[in-house]
Amino acid sequence: MGALQEPTAAMGPYRVEIRGESFYLNRIDAPAGVVTQPGRYEVTVPVADAPQIPAALDQVTGHPQWQRWTRPAQGEQPDTSWTLPPDKQGPAADSHWTVTVDGDRLHIRGPWVVHHEVHRNLLGTELGYRDMTELRKSITDATRDLALPAG
């Protein structure tokens, strides 16, 4: 169990729950078609979400728990074995983020497990704190040349 945070206006439909070494990132108002889940480790959201996701990450880095988590040792490689399916069949998630823009869609793939509950219009995932900096950079790099509204 974690600490639910009060969303800021800049976060749009994103919500954060802080935990010990990770956090939950949820998108409310995530009906099918607006959000898609092409695979276990990937999601497609509107490109307009690009400034809202980093705003949610700002809420995480501003929380006291962010300062307390144990940082990986210099050169330590990420371990994504926790992302394997329950039956242990199939590959684990990529250890790095891939973010691409395709028209009005933002495609994000990386070290997480995505759950899209279409019947509840809810998109949810758990992210390790260690993966946040690269996610933010990947989103920023992919959308740098787009005219997006500020969060």
Query: Residue 71's pLDDT band (boundaries 50, 70, 90)?
Result: confident
Partners of 115 in the β-ladder:
124
Which amino acid, residue 52? Q
pLDDT at site 1:
53
Which amino acid, residue 37? Q
**136 membership: H or E segment, kind and range:** helix 132-143
- In the chain, the number of structural domains is 1
Q: What angle do CA 21, 136, 138 make, to 5 degrees?
A: 125
Asked if residue 97 is part of any domain, the answer here is yes
Nearest by Cα to 18 from 54, 67, 52, 51 = 67
pTM score:
0.90
> What digits encode the pLDDT tens for the residues 75-103?
888 889 889 988 988 899 999 999 999 99
Asked if residue 25 is part of any domain, the answer here is yes
Query: Residue 129's pLDDT band (boundaries 50, 70, 90)?
Result: confident
pLDDT at site 143:
93
User: Quick one: DSSP state of residue 35?
Assistant: B
pLDDT at site 65:
77
Q: Domain range holding 57?
A: 17-68+92-143
pLDDT at site 151:
52
Count Cα neighbours of 14 within 13 Å in the Cβ-side half-sphere: 26
Asked if residue 124 is part of any domain, the answer here is yes
